[in-house]
Structure 1
């Protein structure tokens, strides 16, 4: 967001919400005996909210802001009869987490990330509970005693949703809801809801819907006898008298409809693949190298893309602000062209359904010649973020063989000690600030060094009628020398094989 777009009236509510969330996290950790870090360690850093002139007009920001939830919508289970997976109306939430392994700092980071996810979905975090427990309870996740304590906390705070920092089995979710009597949402459902809000392209919406249905299918259930009613095969279609008899129960019918819809979505996503492959094929045929920007969510990938290309891609201080990949052209300091691909951000325990549904989008990563792995240097656990991103990349065929360049972003927010420690842990990393532009020139030089160079050297005369070939040699090749003669342009350059063949054919026409 540019400075002109953020006035004092807009900034004050944002700071107030962040301070309130900080107070909640501090209270939860203090109750659990954990430690509280400075506000620089929050998942949503106040300093990252403002963009620069490189971020463009940010025309999508108003539309994104309109997706904030409306106050007064309740999700209590008093009148629910047969719908299990309703649209999440996250509003006033209580956080729940288990501290089973690791240190207090690990529990701190995980809880802050959960609070940031809830805020991104449009919620107000009221309070929470952090329990030290080796393994989750198979019935209620927390155990009966802690679940009863949670119910009292929910009732006293007036919350209408409980957000659990983990993935709940259907029985755990049902057992916890029966006790707290409000909607229980696990981490996976929360991330899916954020994706559903932010998806804009036709393919992105289809991918999110497919992931939601895959999540819903094993968790579909009802209350009472509403889901056990049987009807003949044609009754559901309104056939009426004469068609009744043993048939599917309502829950079986809903499951079949979900499977049918999932199959249709998979066909739609597969049908969009040729268009993506055609675009990638054009870039490959033009011998234009590709650089994919990957990293943890809210690490500053879109800001870095804007800084390198002035692309004007939406930049927002929120998790998963970017879902649809953006491809922009950039130029190295020595004049070679390459493409930059901005990809969806990753997160710890990224839902398997999302990884599968977005596999077609992640193909852009597998086709890249270089990975720019953007890391939030001001985050309290950047090494954990790097490990989470690499775990997702390991599931993408071919991604392990692509060279990786660590980019330590948000240097303006990190301390000198943090940067020194990270540079020691990740040798060769480049320190930048996409917000201020510091270190971006050094990053561009490093990208130029790591990009593959053309492997065919030519020294020939190109007729003036084929100036397009000379221009391509400048954009995708490496021109070593150029001289204008009476017969044409003498070109000494390194180019790819396809362009070298075209240059030789054109040079043959220039022979006397």
Structure 2
């Protein structure tokens, strides 16, 4: 195993703005997440910069004085990359690059880069490359000489590495080719989904890094890749699961995130189709994360965007083993805190227990805590859907032949 000292991280600074629509507390949350994204991509955040503005500067995003302050810090501390929390316009990115003379990325570019690192299969790589090309197309002007000078590292993976794509026409042709390739694979995957028959489909959805893949491994006894970084899983994994002789299909989908790039939603359409075609959603939440309520809202918004917000859903609060109680005044739990973790009765006494259509579940996928209740609840939900589809299934109704005879009479 590599020692931390031997891993080469890019020295990076991050920046954001406090506006009328985004207060200082909200910006801090976003920059915390941006720092984790940067770490996932291979960068080390050494400093944060922020500025209060009515609206971002149309030329340089931040004000002139703040840009000068950042430029001085870059020269004094040998910084190689700056990442902005919001998406920059092509003009802003060009102007900032000219002034700072280092790699200038935004949140969208960073997320696309992480996807480029994480893409394992040919299909995932095609999806990511399409999203990158669509993002880069309006930014081609004046950008490639910069890429030529700053080749490699965060934000430079994928289509940005090839000189042949310096021409807009070639990039447009590449986009058209990738779209056709994805259409072909989508048709193949659609056939695969059709061949699964009428089995009940259950999809794990949730914010990135909430433990969906860990849960998938425990339920289905499979070996889906798990890592404590964002977007560890890109490709949808589908496994057949059997609980009490009742089979169903379980799929692990790509994690969601706040400010998810629209290019990714479009290019990962087929992956999201697993969510659209699911009969039951298990919305996994990392209860140990301080902003888990924001995460729930973000996931619900994306589900609404892909028209999947009306599906039957079970809320599953994961990582209860990692939850750190706050003070009594700050916490929402109505029971008094001790140094130990909360009991299941404590969790069930909170407002979280009533989130969603039915009582929520509180589990630890790592420790398999409260797993029997989880399996039972999933079984009951799948059974209900299965009965509506196959009212005379012999596994669910031992006397189904008698019922059928009575109906015929």
Cα 1:379–1:134, aligned 2, differ >3 Å: closer, same or farther? farther
Matched, 1:135 2:55: yes
Counterpart check, 1:317 vs 2:317: no
What pairs with 1:102-501 in structure 2 (closer than 5 Å)? 102-222=22-142, 254-283=167-196, 285=197, 287-332=198-243, 334-397=244-307, 399-415=308-324, 417=331, 419=347, 420-423=350-353, 428-451=359-382, 452-455=385-388, 456-458=390-392, 477-481=395-399, 492=401
SS in 2 for 1:392: helix
**Which segment drifts farther, 373-382 or 412-421?**
412-421
Q: CA deviation at 1:335?
A: 2.1
State the 1:392 CA deviation: 1.4
The answer to whether the 8 A contact 2:208-2:231 is kept is yes
Q: CA deviation at 1:156?
A: 2.0
Alignment partners' CA distance in 1, 2:165 and 2:65:
35
Q: Secondary structure at the match of 2:97?
A: helix
Contact 1:457 1:494 survives alignment (8 Å): no
Aligned to 2:149: none
Tell me the secondary structure at the aligned position of residue 138 of structure 1. coil
**Root-mean-square deviation over aligned CA pairs:** 2.8
Structure 2 match to 1:53 = none
Change (3 A) 1:281 1:177: same
Question: Greater Rg, structure 1 or structure 2?
Answer: 1
Judge conservation of contact 2:15–2:48 (CA < 8 Å) in 1.
Answer: yes
Match of 1:64 in 2: none
Check the 8 A contact 1:93/1:125 in 2, yes or no: yes
In the alignment, is the contact (CA less than 8 A) between 1:309 and 1:329 conserved in 2?
A: yes
Contact 1:127 1:157 in 2 (8 A): no
The 3-state SS of whatever aligns with 2:317 is: strand
Q: 1:254 to 1:457 in 2, by over 3 A?
A: closer
- The answer to whether the Cα contact below 8 Å between 1:291 and 1:368 also exists between their aligned partners in 2 is yes
Cα gap change, 1:402/1:351 in structure 2, threshold over 3 Å: closer, same or farther?
same
Report the Cα distance in structure 2 between the residues aligned to 1:252 and 1:443, rounded to whole angstroms: 50
Q: Is the 1:478–1:493 contact (alpha carbons within 8 Å) kept by the matching residues of 2?
A: no
Cα distance 1:262–1:136, how it changes in 2: closer, same or farther (>3 A)?
same
* Displacement after TM superposition at 1:453 (Å): 2.7
Report how far residue 152 of structure 1 moved: 1.3
Larger relative contact order, structure 1 or 2 (CA cutoff 8 Å, min sep 6): 1
> Which residue number in structure 1 is paired with residue 151 of structure 2?
none
Rate the CA distance shift 1:224–1:402 in 2: closer, same or farther, 3 A. closer
- CA displacement 1:231-276 (0-9 Å, x = unmatched): xxxxxxxxxxxxxxxxxxx999811101101111111111112221
Partner of 1:233: none
What CA distance in whole angstroms lies between the structure 1 residues aligned with 2:145 and 2:317? Answer: 56
In 2 relative to 1, CA 224–282 (structure 1 residues): closer, same or farther, beyond 3 Å?
A: closer
User: Does the residue aligned with 1:478 lie in a helix, a strand or coil?
Assistant: coil
Query: Could you state the TM-score of these two structures normalised by the residue count of structure 2?
Result: 0.82
2:354 touches 2:360 (CA, 8 Å); kept in 1? no
Structure 2: where are the runs of 5+ without partners? Answer: 147-162, 326-330, 333-346
